[in-house]
């Protein structure tokens, strides 16, 4: 469903690549958790996957569509929640969802039903007619999630979706992500919350300095590291540990 093959992206020629020969594959019906330290390359990978950024080399296919050659077709099969959702703040939440529905050609009856369904689920109905500028961080995040769900896509891509959500909304979002996969969809999300990744994901990938350093089920990660009792947090810290390199750097200074 998602195929990333030897992808490299540099923002600047004299800096190391933000994403470095990254390959990964996510099957349909899976929840994939993308983990990595700050600056590891998660958002860069995600922006290429949803068709907002072009890689320098390598290929990306989502739902069989190439992210460059079939950019529009690919975007239509993805619901995307960015790390920092940007809105037209003067619009009401309802107007914004109407605008997104126009972009995806959703007919009137369907959009009314979907807006009611998702705004109900995320407890946003009472605020729908208020201007987005009056929304809290969490309310904006929920609006971004609803906007990604409104066109009933086959793939959901979420960049740190739990940020700003209260416990009930985070719980609802996790339920929605699981239901999305149970009905044949595929979820790809980045997170720093290891507990969420450990409990929710079918497979995880860990990226560090632009390169994928581990991927697979939590059980297979434990097996390959020989750490059978470890939590995902412990594995993550061990795999991304830079102490050796830092000491090495210090000794050279």
Give rounded-to-5 percent helix, strand, coil for the chain.
40, 25, 35
Which of 35, 40, 100, 143 is in the footprint of ligand ATP by CB under 6 A? 40
**Residue 209 binds to ligand ATP (criterion: CB under 6 A):** no
Tell the smallest beta-carbon distance from residue 76 to ligand ATP (Å).
24
**Residue 39 binds to ligand ATP (criterion: CB under 6 A):** yes
Q: Which of 187, 182, 227, 229 is nearest to 204 (CA)?
A: 187
Tell the smallest beta-carbon distance from residue 210 to Mg ion (Å).
13
Q: Which stretch binds ligand ATP (CB under 6 A): 42-50, 69-77, 107-115, 238-246?
A: 42-50
Measured from the CB atom, the residue of 28 and 246 that comes closer to ligand ATP is: 246
Cα pseudo-dihedral 215, 217, 218, 223, rounded to 10: -80
**212 contacts: CB under 8 Å, gap ≥ 6:** 22, 23, 24, 205, 206
**Residue 64 binds to ligand ATP (criterion: CB under 6 A):** no
Tokens of 19: 């994403």
**Residue 43 binds to ligand ATP (criterion: CB under 6 A):** yes
Site for ligand ATP in 4-33 (CB under 6 A): 11, 18
Q: Which residue is nearest to Mg ion (CB)?
A: 43
**Residue 51 binds to ligand ATP (criterion: CB under 6 A):** no
Tell the smallest beta-carbon distance from residue 186 to ligand ATP (Å).
20
Report the relative pairing of strands 155-159 and 65-66 from DSSP bridges.
unpaired
**218 contacts: CB under 8 Å, gap ≥ 6:** 198, 201, 204, 232
Q: Which does 79 bind (CB under 5 to 8 A by kind): ligand ATP, Mg ion, none?
A: none
**Residue 93 binds to ligand ATP (criterion: CB under 6 A):** no
Q: Supply φ then ψ for residue 159, to 5 degrees.
A: -100, 105
SS3 state of residue 143? helix
Tokens of 134: 């009056």
Measured from the CB atom, the residue of 86 and 219 that comes closer to ligand ATP is: 86
- Which stretches of the chain bind ligand ATP, using CB under 6 A? 11, 18, 36, 38-44, 83
């Amino acid at each position: 469903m998602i195929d990333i093959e030897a992808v490299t992206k540099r923002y600047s020629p004299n800096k190391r690549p933000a994403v470095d020969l990254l390959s990964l594959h996510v099957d349909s019906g899976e929840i994939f958790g993308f983990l990595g330290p700050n600056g590891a390359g998660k958002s860069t990978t995600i922006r290429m996957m949803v068709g907002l950024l072009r890689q320098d080399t390598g290929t990306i296919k989502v739902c069989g569509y190439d992210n460059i050659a079939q950019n529009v077709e690919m975007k239509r099969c993805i619901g995307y929640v960015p790390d920092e959702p940007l809105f037209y703040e003067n619009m009401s939440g309802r107007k914004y969802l109407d605008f997104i529905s126009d972009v995806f050609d959703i007919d009137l009856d369907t959009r009314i039903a979907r807006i009611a369904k998702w705004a109900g689920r995320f407890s946003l109905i009472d605020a729908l007619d208020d201007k987005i500028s009056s929304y809290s961080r969490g309310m904006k995040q929920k609006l971004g999630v609803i906007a990604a769900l409104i066109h009933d896509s086959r793939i959901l891509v979420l960049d740190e979706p739990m940020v700003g959500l209260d416990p009930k909304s985070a719980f609802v979002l996790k339920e929605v992500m699981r239901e999305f996969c149970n009905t044949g969809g595929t979820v790809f999300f980045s997170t720093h919350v290891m507990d969420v990744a450990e409990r929710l994901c079918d497979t995880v990938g860990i990226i560090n300095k632009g390169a994928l350093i581990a991927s697979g089920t939590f059980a297979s990660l434990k097996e390959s590291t020989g750490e059978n009792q470890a939590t995902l947090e412990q594995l993550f810290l061990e795999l991304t540990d830079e102490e050796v390199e830092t000491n090495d750097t210090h000794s050279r200074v």
